[in-house]
Amino acid sequence: MIVVMRPTATQDEVDGVRRTVEEHGLEAFISVGEERTVIGVVGSDLESVAHLGTLDGVEQVIRISSPYKLASSEHQVERTRVRVNGVELGLGQELVVMAGPCAVESREQLMQTARAVKREGARVLRGGAFKPRTSPYAFQGLGLPALKLLHEAHDEYGLPVISEVVDPKDVPAFEEHIDVLQVGARNMANFVLLKAVGQSRRPVLLKRGLSATIEEWLLAAEYILSAGNPNVILCERGIRTFETATRNTLDLSAVPVLRSRTHLPIIVDPSHGTGHRALVAPMALAGAAVGADGLIIEVHPDPANARSDGDQSLGFEEFGALMDELRRLQFVRSADATPAPALAPAGQDGIGDIRDRIDDLDARLGEMVQERAALALEVQRRRETGAHGHDVRRERALLERAAAATSGPMTPVELTMVFDALLRASRSVQRRHAQSVTEAEAAATGSGR
Least distance from C-beta 271 to Mn ion, angstroms? 6
Return the residue of 101, 184, 265, 287 that touches ligand PEP, per CB under 6 A: 184
**CA neighbours within 13 Å on the CB side: how many for 219?**
11
> Residue from 90, 100, 101, 128 that binds ligand PEP (CB under 6 A)?
128
The residues with which 97 forms a beta bridge, in sequence order, are 295
Strands annotated E in 27-168: 27-32, 37-42, 58-62, 82-84, 87-89, 96-100, 124-126, 161-164
Query: Of 160 and 275, which has the nearer Cβ to Mn ion?
Result: 275
CB atoms < 10 A from the CB of 12, how many? 9
Rounded Cα–Cα distance for residues 261 and 40 (Å): 23
Nearest-approach distance from CB 312 to Mn ion, in angstroms: 7
Q: Least distance to ligand PEP from the beta carbon of 394, Å? A: 52
Give min distance, CB of 180 to ligand PEP, in A. Answer: 12
Nearest residue to 115 via CA among 159, 163, 160: 159
Q: Is residue 177 a contact point for ligand PEP (CB under 6 A)?
A: no
- Contact between 309 and Mn ion by CB under 5 A: the answer reads yes
Q: Is 308 exposed, middle or buried (0-12, 13-18, 19+ CB in 10 A)?
A: buried
Minimum separation from the CB atom of position 141 to Mn ion (A): 10
Q: Return d(Cα 130, Cα 333) in angstroms, integer.
A: 34
Residue 90 interacting entry, from Mn ion, ligand PEP, none, C-beta within 5 to 8 Å by type: none
The amino acid present at 50, given as its one-letter code, is: A
Q: Which is nearer to ligand PEP, 58 or 292 (by Cβ)? A: 292
SS (H, E, C) 239-306: ECCCCCCCCCECCCCHHHHHHHHECCCEEECHHHHHCCHHHHHHHHHHHHHCCCCEEEEEECCCHHHC
CB 416 within 8 A of CB 399: yes
Assess 204 for contact with Mn ion (CB under 5 A). Answer: no
Nearer to ligand PEP by Cβ, of 177 and 272: the residue is 272
Window 100-119: contact mask with ligand PEP (x via CB under 6 A): --x-----------------
The continuous run of DSSP H or E covering 235 comes out as strand 232-236
Distance of closest approach, residue 142 Cβ to ligand PEP, in angstroms? 14
Instruction: Choose one: 3-11, 165-173, 184-192, 347-355; the region binding ligand PEP (CB under 6 A).
Output: 184-192
Phi-psi region of 37 (alpha: psi -120 to 50; beta: other; left: phi over 0): beta
Which residue number places its CB atom closest to ligand PEP?
A: 184
Q: Which does 185 bind (CB under 5 to 8 A by kind): ligand PEP, Mn ion, none?
A: ligand PEP
Q: What b/e string do you get for 70-94 counting C-beta neighbours within 10 Å, with b at 16 or more?
A: bbbbeebeebbbbebeebebbeebb
Bridge pairing between strands 87-89 and 266-268: unpaired
- Between residues 167 and 395, which has the closer beta carbon with respect to ligand PEP? 167
Q: Should residue 141 be labelled a site residue for ligand PEP when binding is judged by CB under 6 A?
A: no
Please give the residues from 189 up to 228 whose contact with ligand PEP meets the rule CB under 6 A: 207
The stretch near Mn ion (CB under 5 A) out of 56-64, 139-147, 174-182, 305-313 is 305-313
Does residue number 237 form part of the binding site for ligand PEP (CB under 6 A)? yes
- State which residue, 222 or 309, has the beta carbon closest to Mn ion: 309
Q: How many residues bind ligand PEP (CB under 6 A)?
A: 9
125 vs 157: CA distance, rounded Å: 9
Alpha-carbon Rg for the chain, nearest whole angstrom, is: 30
| Nearest residue (CB) to Mn ion, 21 versus 114 | 114
Tell the smallest beta-carbon distance from residue 32 to ligand PEP (Å).
52
Instruction: Give the binding-site size for Mn ion (rule: CB under 5 A).
Output: 2
**Other beta carbons less than 10 A from residue 432's beta carbon:** 12
Binding mask 366-405 toward Mn ion (x if CB under 5 A, else -) reads ----------------------------------------
- Of 337-366, binders to ligand PEP (CB under 6 A) are none
Nearest to 264 by CA among 68, 45, 99, 124: 68
Residues 88-107 that bind Mn ion (CB under 5 A): 102
Q: How far is the CB of 181 from ligand PEP (least distance, A)?
A: 12
**Could you tell me the smallest distance in angstroms from the CB atom of residue 308 to Mn ion?**
6
**Nearer residue to Mn ion within complex by CB, 170 or 309:** 309
Q: Which residues bind Mn ion (CB under 5 A)?
A: 102, 309
Q: Which residues bind ligand PEP (CB under 6 A)?
A: 102, 128, 164, 184-186, 207, 237, 272
